Amino acid sequence: MNLKATRRPRVLIIGSGFGGLFAAQALASADVNVTMIAKTSHHLFQPLLYQVATGILSSGEIAPATREILAKQDNAEVLLGNVRHIDVEARRVHVSTLGIEDEFSYDYLIVAAGSRTSYFGNDQFAHDAPGMKSIDDALELRGRIYGAFELAEISAARGEPSDVDRLMTFVVVGAGPTGVEMAGQLVELSKRTLNREFRHIDANDSKIILLDGGDAVLSSFDPSLQDKVKTELEGMGVDVRLGAMVVDVDEQGLDYKDRDGTTHRIEAITKVWAAGVSASPLAKILADQVGLEVDRGGRIPVQSDLTLPGHPEIFVVGDMIALDNLPGVAQTAIQTARHSAAQIVRAVEGNPSSEDFSYFDKGNMATVARFRAIAEVGPIKVTGFLAWSMWLVVHLFYIIGFKSQITMLLHWAVTFLGRDRAQRTITEQQVFGRLAMEQDGRALPESLGRIMRPAAAAKNDAENEGSGGRGSDGESAPQPTP
C-alpha cells in the first residue's frame, strides 16, 4: 500500500524497541498511517543480550528486522534514522540518516527512544568497560571475553603468569539482573564450556568478580531473594563485593572505593559495565520545550495519561518516562505503548479521552545460571528450577518470530543440557570495531552523505512537488542538535 496516497492522520513513532514496536502493532487496524523511525533496522530483545555476548545465541535470534515483523501491517512503514530534534510547536521531527538530513511532520507522536548506558558522568569508562545495550555491545563483549582466553593461552605458553591472571579475571560492574546474569554466565562459560579446551591454561581458574556500590545484589527484589542469589553466586565461585564504588577504569583494570573510603585495585582486562542507564537525550529535548525538568536518570515526568502538558498529541513511553516509580522494564514499555495507541485510536475515531495509565505488575524475574533463577509474582516467590522454567517460557513467549523461538530452543538445549555454545565466532572487527569508529566514525556519515545526497535530494524534491509529502516544504535541511 502506498501510504502517501492516503490522507489519514500520521502517527510517527520514534524507536523500534518494546515501546515502539508494540505501539505500531496496536495501531494495526486503526485508520491512521504509521511511520516508525529508529536508529537500528531491528527490534532488539535486550533481556537476552548477555546470551549473545557469551556465545549462546546469535544476534539475529534476538534482533529480527523490524521491516519483516511489520511487513503484513499495511498501514505501517519503517524508516532507518537517528532523530536529532523534535519541534513540538511545528510538529516536526528532524532526522539524520548517514549524513542525510530530513524532516517529518506528524499528527500524533509516540516517543519510545528508550535509554542508554550511563557511566554516571564518567563516559571515559566506556572505552575499557563496554555496556550492554546493543548488538554491537554484545558482539564486542563476546570478542573481548573469548579473546581474553585466547590471549591467556598464548601468555601461559610464553611463561608470563601475571598477564594470564589479568586476562582471566573478569569484572562485572553492577549487580542488577543484567550483572547477575552476566556473572553467572561467565562462570558457566569458564567452568562448563571452556574448561576442557585449552592446553596451557585451566579455564576453571578464571576469576569472576561482581561489584556493586549498593548493599545488595538485585536491589529491586525482596531481601530474602537477594540473600539467596548472593549465596548462590558465591557458591558458584563469583567474588561478590558490595559497597564497592568504581572510581577509575583503564585498559589493565579498575579501581574502586569501599565503604571505608579505601581504594582497591583489580587487574582485569575484561570489564563489563552493567551499572545503570539514563534516558534517551530526546527526553530532555522534549522537556525543555514544554517547561518540564528531567529527573536524575534523564527521564521526563509525563502526565498521568502519558502525554506532555499542552500537547495531547505527544505520548512518551517506556524507559524514557518518570511516572509513579514505574520500573524500566519491558512490561512498562509494552503497556505504556498500548495505552498511548488506544488513546490515539479513540481520538481518531472522534472520541478523544485522556485516560490515566495504570500499570499491571506481572512480576519480576532474573536468572543466576542454568536451571537457577528467581521470580517474584505479587506475594509469591519462586526460586530454583521452577523459576528458571518460568523464565524460559516467558522469554520464549515474548521473543518475536517462530523461527527465533525454534532456533533459540535448540541453542538453549546445546548449552543448558550439553556444555557447548553455538555462537562463539569472533572477528577482529568485533574486538577493535569500536576503537576504529571512535577514530574515524565522525567523518563516515558525512562522506556517505556526500555520496547519497544527490539521489536523496532529487527524491525529496519530487515528493515536495506533490502535496501531503514529508512536510519539509523545500526548506533547507535542519542542523543536527548537538
Q: Which of 38, 156, 308, 368 binds ligand FAD (CB under 6 A)?
A: 38
CA nearest neighbour of 284 among 296, 293, 273, 276: 293
Shortest separation between residue 83's beta carbon and ligand FAD, angstroms: 4
- Would you say 18 and 38 are in contact if contact means Cβ atoms under 8 Å apart? no
Q: Mark the segment that binds ligand FAD (CB under 6 A) among 300-308, 327-335, 376-384, 424-432.
A: 327-335
Residue 117 in grid coordinates: 548506558
Q: Which of 73, 331, 389, 405 binds ligand FAD (CB under 6 A)?
A: 331
272 binds ligand FAD (CB under 6 A): no
Site map (CB under 6 A) of ligand FAD, residues 90-129, x = contact: ----------------------xxx---------------
* 61 annotated active-site: no
Site map (CB under 6 A) of ligand FAD, residues 142-181, x = contact: -----------------------------------xx---
DSSP 66-93: HHHHTTT-TTEEEEE-EEEEEETTTTEE
132 binds ligand FAD (CB under 6 A): yes
The two beta strands, 108-111 and 92-97, are: unpaired
Q: Which of 11, 19, 163, 375 binds ligand FAD (CB under 6 A)?
A: 19
User: Which CB sits closer to ligand FAD, 16 or 340?
Assistant: 16
CA nearest neighbour of 179 among 74, 265, 245, 274: 274
User: Which CB sits closer to ligand FAD, 46 or 206?
Assistant: 46
The span from the CA of 428 to the CA of 433, in Å, is 8
The span from the CA of 132 to the CA of 179, in Å, is 10
Shortest separation between residue 131's beta carbon and ligand FAD, angstroms: 8
Shortest separation between residue 208's beta carbon and ligand FAD, angstroms: 17
The two beta strands, 380-383 and 372-377, are: antiparallel
Residue 100 in grid coordinates: 542525510
- Would you say 78 and 70 are in contact if contact means Cβ atoms under 8 Å apart? yes
The span from the CA of 399 to the CA of 40, in Å, is 18
Name the residue with the smallest CB distance to ligand FAD.
Answer: 17
Selecting among 77, 181, 188, 232, the annotated active-site residue is 181
Q: How many residues bind ligand FAD (CB under 6 A)?
A: 32
Shortest separation between residue 478's beta carbon and ligand FAD, angstroms: 14
CB within 8 A of 218, min separation 6: which ones? 175, 176, 177, 180, 225, 226, 229, 366, 374
Site map (CB under 6 A) of ligand FAD, residues 279-308, x = contact: -x-x--------------------------
User: Which CB sits closer to ligand FAD, 109 or 164?
Assistant: 109
Q: Which of 329, 374, 408, 431 binds ligand FAD (CB under 6 A)?
A: 329
The span from the CA of 206 to the CA of 379, in Å, is 38
The span from the CA of 467 to the CA of 76, in Å, is 20
CB within 8 A of 443, min separation 6: which ones? none
Q: Which of 47, 64, 143, 478 binds ligand FAD (CB under 6 A)?
A: 47
Q: Which of 13, 49, 152, 347 binds ligand FAD (CB under 6 A)?
A: 49
Shortest separation between residue 320's beta carbon and ligand FAD, angstroms: 6
Residue 455 in grid coordinates: 539521489
Residue 162 in grid coordinates: 601475571
183 binds ligand FAD (CB under 6 A): no
Q: Which of 10, 13, 15, 52 binds ligand FAD (CB under 6 A)?
A: 15
CA nearest neighbour of 176 among 301, 54, 327: 327
Sheet of strand 263-267, all strands in order from the earlier edge strand to the far edge: 245-250, 253-257, 263-267
Shortest separation between residue 317's beta carbon and ligand FAD, angstroms: 6
318 binds ligand FAD (CB under 6 A): yes
Site map (CB under 6 A) of ligand FAD, residues 71-90, x = contact: -----------xx-------
Shortest separation between residue 302's beta carbon and ligand FAD, angstroms: 12
User: Which CB sits closer to ligand FAD, 12 or 209?
Assistant: 12
Q: Which of 27, 32, 34, 37 binds ligand FAD (CB under 6 A)?
A: 37
Q: Which residues are registered as beta bridge partners of 35?
A: 12, 77
How far, in Å, are 77, 98, 386 from residue 5 at the CA level? 13, 27, 53
User: Which CB sits closer to ligand FAD, 216 or 373?
Assistant: 373
The span from the CA of 136 to the CA of 472, in Å, is 33
Q: Which residues are catalytic?
A: 181
Residues of this chain that bind ligand FAD (CB under 6 A): 14-20, 37-40, 46-47, 49, 82-83, 112-114, 132-133, 177-178, 280, 282, 318-319, 328-331, 333
